[in-house]
Amino acid sequence: MKKLKLIASSLLVMSVLTLNSVGVNAKWKQDSNGWWNTEGNSWTVGWKEIDGKWYYFNSDGYMAHDTTIDGYNIGSDGAWIQSTQNVSADSEKDEKTAENYLVDQGYKIITRRGKTSEYILEKNMLWGSIGDYAEVWGVQRVEPDKYFGKQIAGYNFIVKNHPLEKIYNVNTNVYVLISDGQVIGGASFPDGDFDGGCYSLDGKTLEEITGLSYEQWCDNWKKKYAF
């Protein structure tokens, strides 16, 4: 098991911006699933500047559109819309939604750390990728499959009156997941350096959530999400 402190740190860096330079052999292509940009015998992944505009390509190579990546608004043509006003407004609204959810659960907000991650969830992120996507999504009460291709944002708070406080006698670090303006789950862990995995948003263990041992869960998860 990883240190909870390391899990907390990795949650802050889940969203990674990769900047790619334009290759001389780059070329746009399209099929029924969308547009992609070829680079020799491969395709572009991540951010790419093409003809003075920035585009984002998902891990399968297809261009993202009508979404927000790393806090940047992307239009229907796939190009970054260079205005952050709407993005900032949406982030503030989502953070308030997350905060209200925690208050409704009876938790007292001690510290607001804002949006600490933003990404489009894809299957290949759930096994063998950077960050603790599997750790976090393993303690959700919803299957991650229904959110593949969707924008996920994570908001971090320190709270009191959380169930973990009775176990560790410290404040609790909570990480609220938002998609399409709604709370879809999250994770929690004591605010300190403790051994063990992360808990669900309401303080349940992976074993309590899934009804499986950690080894059984790993085996099932690998069969479902490992390539």
The domain spans of the chain are 26-74, 89-225
Q: In CATH, what number does 26-74 get?
A: 2.10.270.10
The DSSP symbol for 80 reads B
Dihedral sign from CA coordinates of 76, 61, 116, 146:
positive
d(CA 94, CA 217): 31
pLDDT 10s digits, 2-33: 444 444 544 544 433 333 334 444 689 999 98
Average pLDDT over residues 204-213: 96
The whole-chain average pLDDT of the chain stands at 84
pLDDT 10s digits, 88-118: 667 889 999 999 999 999 999 999 999 988 8
pTM (two decimals): 0.65
Predicted local distance difference test score (pLDDT) of residue 49? 81
Inform me whether the pLDDT recorded for 206 exceeds 70: yes
Predicted local distance difference test score (pLDDT) of residue 171? 97
Place of tokens 């670090």: 173
Average pLDDT over residues 48-71: 86
d(CA 156, CA 11): 9
116 vs 202: which has the higher pLDDT: 202
**pLDDT level of residue 192 (50, 70, 90 thresholds):** confident
Taking a C-beta distance cutoff of 8 angstroms, is the pair 155, 145 a contact?
A: no
d(CA 201, CA 167): 15
Taking a C-beta distance cutoff of 8 angstroms, is the pair 74, 65 a contact?
A: yes
